[in-house]
Structure 1
């Protein structure tokens, strides 16, 4: 175009449309929200299927407010009110009141009876062994005794020593040491009213005998202990059990050890 020409100047403007034409970018945000929602939905379905009721409750409590606002009962007295969260009454789905539930009278009495039983058995044990004072038994007799308190009662084991046996050879004839122990036990047992059980035990023979009357001998020795207790003043009606276990229940790993020759006298708990 020559200088000084009166022809109009034409300016061509190109319209640039951002976002890919008339679609724009909003659909991408909407799609992302949809995918996120679906992932959350499927995760929720998986959690419901893979967890227990207790675990689900724990998850719900995790997302619940730490201050108890409302489950089924409120804390006010208005239209939406209910019991106060500090009530002493038990509320459904919200546990008990502010205080722990009181124990029933029967449960309290049972606990007191059990404690009294244990205390009485401990006193018998202490008197027999001379705990906290002088024993009623001689030092020689005390060597043959051990005691233990179990759920069944106070178990008193009277056993052979390598140099002193409770009975004469393989008989039911008592030696003086077990006669002394039986007399003292009979006196102590008269201070309570608990039942008494007696068990006889023997050690195994190192060589198998053709005639080995372990059952008869263990039972006979248990019977002899019963007779000695009764002679010492124990009411026969308090004997509730008398058994002989033979050599089937050794106290030592070595079944032939003299320690397995023993009499177990059990002062039974009356609260069982």
Structure 2
């Protein structure tokens, strides 16, 4: 006796589990993709954030002195006789007793220290260091500190800034941080032009130096955008040389007077 074929509806019902199984696998894959993206942390941003919170929570507690209820108010003549105390002004830790010759010698010593710290990179032509009796100029490529088109320092940049801060810390020399870009246009919500990008990068390096213990009164940050090139912008090598951050370390202590 010939067996009867099962109805097509029965076959369809038996295979419906495949649809549910495929949906489950797709959702599981999407879940792991989301979990991976959430777990990918920008370590550079994390360190900046952690340093900021540490500074806030470790700061000394400040409170206003309460006014005792019932204390008589001072009369106008008495108020006028009170000594007016001017607000405290934070100044750079300058030492006016140091002679120009001693300052020039100290500047040469700092230049020698920086040359030792970046000896390999200087020999490879990645970093350049120039010096005279008034200035040290340390030229760092943007790729050593930042990703393309961004002003957030990547993780390796903290080691570079730490080396520089170890040389500059506990001194009084003024430090000017300059940012430069190539002529490739950038138009984003954060950086409408290369001026904003170069300034943000210079400010980021100045902030990192401050986080490493360099006094902020000694620091200044300025961005030049694409308008102070070292090389021609019509070649890739020229554009690479133009994308840079320059640290100018002055022999003098006054950041406002250190004009170059």
2: distance between equivalents of 1:265 and 1:247?
Answer: 17
CA, structure 1 residues 168+146, in 2 after alignment: closer, same or farther (shift >3 Å)? Answer: same
Greater RCO (CA < 8 Å, at least 6 residues apart)? 2
Please tell me whether the aligned partners of residues 178 and 202 of structure 2 are also in contact (alpha carbons under 8 angstroms): yes
Please tell me whether the aligned partners of residues 129 and 142 of structure 1 are also in contact (alpha carbons under 8 angstroms): no
Please tell me whether the aligned partners of residues 141 and 180 of structure 1 are also in contact (alpha carbons under 8 angstroms): no
Please tell me whether the aligned partners of residues 231 and 241 of structure 2 are also in contact (alpha carbons under 8 angstroms): yes
Give the equivalent residue in structure 2 for 1:252: 231
**Structure 1: stretches of 5+ with no match in the other structure:** 1-109
CA, structure 1 residues 189+138, in 2 after alignment: closer, same or farther (shift >3 Å)? Answer: same
Q: Could you tell me the TM-score, scaled by structure 2's length? A: 0.51
User: Displacement of 1:127 after TM fit?
Assistant: 1.1
**Structure 2: stretches of 5+ with no match in the other structure:** 1-95
Structure 1 residue 193 and structure 2 residue 172: aligned?
A: yes
Q: Deviations over 1:82-133 (max 9, x none)?
A: xxxxxxxxxxxxxxxxxxxxxxxxxxxx9x9332222211111111121xxx
Structure 1 residue 261 and structure 2 residue 246: aligned?
A: no
Q: Superposed, which structure 2 residues align to 1:64-103 within 5 Å? A: none
Give the equivalent residue in structure 2 for 1:80: none
Paired residue total: 151
Q: Which has the larger radius of gyration?
A: 1
2: distance between equivalents of 1:125 and 1:175?
Answer: 26
2: distance between equivalents of 1:173 and 1:142?
Answer: 27
Give the equivalent residue in structure 2 for 1:167: 146
Structure 1 residue 156 and structure 2 residue 165: aligned?
A: no
1: distance between equivalents of 2:225 and 2:144?
Answer: 17
Please tell me whether the aligned partners of residues 199 and 245 of structure 1 are also in contact (alpha carbons under 8 angstroms): yes
CA, structure 1 residues 138+178, in 2 after alignment: closer, same or farther (shift >3 Å)? Answer: farther
Give the equivalent residue in structure 2 for 1:232: 212
User: Displacement of 1:155 after TM fit?
Assistant: 1.2
Please tell me whether the aligned partners of residues 121 and 127 of structure 2 are also in contact (alpha carbons under 8 angstroms): no
Please tell me whether the aligned partners of residues 181 and 226 of structure 2 are also in contact (alpha carbons under 8 angstroms): yes
CA RMSD across the alignment: 2.8
User: Displacement of 1:187 after TM fit?
Assistant: 1.4
* SS, match of residue 199 in structure 1: strand
Q: Deviations over 1:35-80 (max 9, x none)?
A: xxxxxxxxxxxxxxxxxxxxxxxxxxxxxxxxxxxxxxxxxxxxxx
CA, structure 1 residues 165+149, in 2 after alignment: closer, same or farther (shift >3 Å)? Answer: closer
1: distance between equivalents of 2:128 and 2:121?
Answer: 13
User: Displacement of 1:191 after TM fit?
Assistant: 4.3
Please tell me whether the aligned partners of residues 172 and 217 of structure 1 are also in contact (alpha carbons under 8 angstroms): yes
Give the equivalent residue in structure 2 for 1:115: 101
Give the equivalent residue in structure 2 for 1:217: 197
1: distance between equivalents of 2:193 and 2:231?
Answer: 21
Q: Could you tell me the TM-score, scaled by structure 1's length? A: 0.49
1: distance between equivalents of 2:186 and 2:161?
Answer: 31
* SS, match of residue 170 in structure 1: coil
1: distance between equivalents of 2:135 and 2:121?
Answer: 25
Runs of 4+ with >4 A deviation: 140-143, 208-212
